[in-house]
Structure 1
């Protein structure tokens, strides 16, 4: 093993973080948060709604189809390997709308929003969980459908990192890299934050970098590489990975992840420690437990989440069917299947 390999592995190992946060974040509680999944890997029009979850209608729109007598057919929502969520935060009568990630294709997110009757013109800020293309591809569609001049977009400074996949025995495949210059020319106001930041009058927390404290969440396999200016190196940590956190009054924290590259247990524990809140109310988003490299992490992840006893777990995107099955078994009252067009309502 060369020195570079060893240093990368050491970086992925846990580091001790004990006690309360040195600089705790005072997160203002909200009365309600509604998280609507605009893009996810699946769309199931037959999933049932309940008092916490509202599903998209089976006929979310009409499109031209000449083989039918009236020339139209009913369509559902787009499902693609990506993630995007609309976050509506309410305090009293004041509602603020944020967009968390934008899916993989330029038109997938905006198409689903249109079919759901959601006006993306109401979005007051964008947050990117990290720089991977399956979370940022819809920025082009957003800019094309609404004026984004001055629209703030919160990112980690490493979101611009060049990355590639280099599986053994195969030619490396470059991953699309975000361009700050292009985004600013579209009108986005890019805000880089490595440390935690507060939005919406202190009621929405963007975690910034996550403390890696578990002994089983080791990050991406060796095929995931980043350009460091001199060469390609294993990039296990995806340090730009960050989560969105809201505290629902009298309920606890709602944690929204994109892929959870930092490890979902690391993320949840980091949010609890950072805010001083002792309860995880809901966990929504991608957990990155799919594939042979991550399936060994499923059991300890599910065990740790079971100990936290969240009221709602909606794992989607890159979580994988094995993890979904394990979570559904371990947390039958909390786990609900995710799907494009689903709204999760968490209220005080």
Structure 2
């Protein structure tokens, strides 16, 4: 598997890519081309051009959850594919994989609607879709995890806004991640880890039967975390024996400094490419 971070909050040193507070990752594995999240704007499209990546020929488009910093770029991708169709250019629309509630609006008291711009019905006009709470195999080794069981008492305790369809507090049941079974162990690829990064890792191990974890890439949702959450997360990850920890996006500086004291934290940013 090879992955390239198309969008992150930061860029890597000496890499002339754009950044925004969002996430999008391009993955290639076993002949399959996967886009994981679309960021907030069309930045991921510009960075794909810089990286020489063709996003007109994707096999899968998978979403981690429905928040604006992961889904609002979908509008730009639809425009790009539609323009290619109108101009008679070669293209291959991807199969979309998401939780059934990913495209339900989310209202937050201060920010307003922070959910996806497009409805599930509208998305279905542009893509063949699989909406599932169960895991979906994207390749023989790469799995979209579906609903993550919430087991850790120090994680996933606070809702963010409320879903428009039932007006109940949103604990983000749609939040999920990817798990890749490498020869050395699991590589976990996350969006924001609203479900809790430790919950995600535990479920990935349970689902795949692989107990070794070699790397975690993406957002850990450690933004001014409670003392219990930060300590619990560090304690859990220390026991996993990670070779690398690529914590980015929604991981604040204080949390990165704390993680780096005992864990193999690595630089993350738009343009970073990793191979497994």
TM-score by length of 2: 0.90
User: Hey, what does 2:204 align to over in structure 1?
Assistant: 271
Q: Deviations over 1:76-99 (max 9, x none)?
A: 211111100001114xxxx22100
CA distance in 2, matches of 1:270, 1:319: 21
Aligned to 1:316: 248
What does residue 35 of structure 1 align with? 3
| RMSD (CA atoms) | 1.8
Counterparts of 2:204 and 2:115 in 1: how far apart (Å)? 30
Alignment CA distance shift 1:181-1:289 (3 Å)? same
Structure 1 Cα separation of the partners of residues 142 and 260 of structure 2: 28
Name the SS of the counterpart of 1:157 in structure 2.
Answer: coil
From 168, 185, 210, the counterpart of 2:148: 210
Residue number in structure 1 paired with 2:130: 191
Query: What secondary structure sits across from 2:175 in the alignment?
Result: coil
Q: Deviations for 1:176-226, whole angstroms, at most 9, x for unmatched residues?
A: 4331232233x21121111112122x32211100011111003434x5222
Provide the residue aligned with 1:240 in structure 2.
174
Greater C-alpha Rg: 1
| Counterpart check, 1:262 vs 2:195 | yes
- Indicate which of 121, 143, 146 corresponds to 1:181: 121
Superposed, 1:92-241 pairs within 5 Å as: 95-105=31-41, 107-146=42-81, 147=84, 150-166=93-109, 173-177=112-116, 178-185=118-125, 187-200=126-139, 202-221=140-159, 224-229=161-166, 232-235=167-170, 237-241=171-175
The CA deviation string for residues 311-336 of structure 1, in whole angstroms up to 9 with x for no partner, is: 111011101111211121111xx310
- The TM-score normalised by the length of structure 1 is 0.72
CA positional deviation for 1:145: 2.4
Secondary structure of the 1:120 match is coil
Asked if structure 2 preserves the Cα contact closer than 8 Å seen for 1:287 and 1:316, the reply is: yes
Residue 276 (structure 1) shift: 0.9
Q: Tell me the SS of whatever aligns to 1:45.
A: coil
Q: Which has the higher contact order (CA 8 A, sep 6+)?
A: 1
Instruction: Say which of 243, 248, 273 aligns to 1:343.
Output: 273
Indicate conservation of the 8 Å contact 2:10/2:270, yes or no. Answer: yes
CA contact (8 A) 2:56 2:92 kept: no
User: d(CA) in 2 for partners of 1:145 and 1:172?
Assistant: 28
Deviation at 1:117, TM superposition (A): 1.5
- Residue 296 of structure 1: how far off its partner (Å): 4.5
Q: Which whole-Å CA distance do the structure 2 matches of 1:340 and 1:150 have between them? A: 24
For 1:336 and 1:328, the matched residues in 2 are separated by 9
Residue segments in structure 2 that go unaligned for 5+ positions in a row: 85-90
SS at 1:283 equivalent: strand
Q: 1:204/1:44 Cα in 2 relative to 1: closer, same or farther (>3 Å)?
A: closer
| Aligned-residue offset at 1:294 | 4.8
Q: Distance in 2 between matches of 1:184 and 1:134?
A: 21
Corresponding residue number in structure 2 for 1:20: none
SS at match of 1:304: helix
Is the alpha carbon distance of 1:172 and 1:102 closer, same or farther for their aligned partners in structure 2, counting shifts above 3 Å? closer
How many pairs align? Answer: 267
Q: Is the 8 A contact 1:149 1:188 kept in 2?
A: no
Aligned mates of 2:233, 2:151 — CA distance in 1: 13
Task: Report the CA distance between 1:127 and its aligned residue.
Answer: 0.2
